[in-house]
A = this chain, B = another copy of it.
Amino acid sequence: MVRAKSWVLKKHFEGFPKNSDFELKEAELRELKEAEVLFESVFLSVDPYMRPYSERLMKEGDTMIGSQVARVVESKNPTFQVGTYVVANAGWTTHFISDGKDLQQLPPWPEKIPRSLALGTIGMPGLTAYFGLFEICKIRAGDTVLVSAAAGAVGSVVGQIAKIGGCKVVGCAGSDKKVAYLKLIGFDEAFNYKTIGSLEEALRKASPDGYDCYFDNVGGEFSSIVLKQMKRFGRIAVCGAISEYNDTVPQKGPYVHMPMILNQLYMEGFLVSRWKDRYGEALKILLGWVVEGKIKCEEHVTEGFERMPGAFMGMLKGENLGKAIIKV
């Protein structure tokens, strides 16, 4: 008999999540039926989207949503051999039974590449960076690209892909350590938005001519200020709005219409699932770039399933450099 531990949303978040909003539950899993597979979690992911979607997709008592890299420990399904790995949207749980549907088997995985990257650069965050840049920002060589939350799971890949694409890349992040990391992985300019005196000036200094593209992970006041430094026909990929997720009362800022008209700006919100039918193609490219060393990957690993809520809250506070991962 296998006992599965799961983190449950005990109470809907009000403002910033608290420890008491989560509850750890344990349950005995039943025997496998024909065609079923038993998985155990190896790596779990905490991502910003879990905060806004907790209200939309979950009710109190539900297991927290999320994906993980899991290993087959028992199988009555010939497609899934014991010892093989999948990415599963199984939520925050250590073990689960699946009929094999809606699982993504990991492709042949080079030994030197950690499998946890299937939750990061060679997974959803990497795909988000890839499609956001090519399909929304429509980057061209020579463009100046700004990335917010640039040291995060998505942002760090955005910057490196934009460099591969021949762009000048400016990133901002919330600590000097992160800024140093951004320079290390090839960002042309980077600054700590918490310590600069004026965001307007820091943006202008990093690119006096303005920005062709803005990959927006933060929303809020930051993005209002960026809007005024976009070049004519600038493109904004609205990927995330982490500065707004924990608001109990929606924040307000200046209306976007005047700068949008005067500089003929284009802005589009997106969810990566839009390009689901192209994941295979893109993952192959991303894996290739990682293997060749063109994209460097940093992970912020928290050990222990019990510490998952803390890892989630830490990620929302920006404590992670690179992808936040839980190692079971």
- Chain A contact residues, CB within 8 Å of chain B: 52, 56, 216, 219-220, 223-224, 238-241, 244, 250-271, 274
- Please state the number of chain copies in the assembly: 2
Q: How far is the CA of A261 from the CA of B56 in the complex (A)?
A: 13
Tell me which of B255, B258, B264 contacts A274 (CB under 8 A).
B264
Q: How far is the CA of A257 from the CA of B267 in the complex (A)?
A: 10
CB <8 Å contact, A250 and B241 = no
CB <8 Å contact, A255 and B257 = no
CB <8 Å contact, B274 and A269 = no
Q: How far is the CA of A239 from the CA of B260 in the complex (A)?
A: 9
CB <8 Å contact, A258 and B271 = no
A52 to chain B: closest residue by CB: B258
CB <8 Å contact, A238 and B257 = yes
Tell me which of B223, B251, B269 contacts A254 (CB under 8 A).
B251
CB <8 Å contact, A268 and B257 = no
Chain B proximity of A45: nearest CB distance (Å): 19
Chain B proximity of A199: nearest CB distance (Å): 16
CB <8 Å contact, A261 and B239 = yes
Can you sample 17 A-B contacts with CB below 8 Å? A52-B258, A52-B262, A220-B257, A238-B256, A238-B257, A241-B258, A251-B255, A252-B253, A252-B254, A252-B255, A260-B267, A260-B268, A260-B269, A265-B269, A266-B267, A267-B267, A267-B268
Most buried by B among A260, A262, A266: A260
Q: How far is the CA of A220 from the CA of B261 in the complex (A)?
A: 13
Tell me which of B220, B251, B264, B271 contacts A269 (CB under 8 A).
B264
When distances are taken between beta carbons in the complex, the residues of chain B under 8 Å from A220 are 255, 257
A252 to chain B: closest residue by CB: B252
Q: How far is the CA of A240 from the CA of B263 in the complex (A)?
A: 13
Chain B proximity of A322: nearest CB distance (Å): 22
CB <8 Å contact, A265 and B263 = no
Tell me which of B56, B216, B257 contacts A241 (CB under 8 A).
B257
When distances are taken between beta carbons in the complex, the residues of chain B under 8 Å from A271 are 261, 264
Chain B proximity of A257: nearest CB distance (Å): 4
Chain B proximity of A188: nearest CB distance (Å): 26
When distances are taken between beta carbons in the complex, the residues of chain B under 8 Å from A255 are 219-220, 223-224, 241, 244, 250-253
Chain B proximity of A240: nearest CB distance (Å): 7
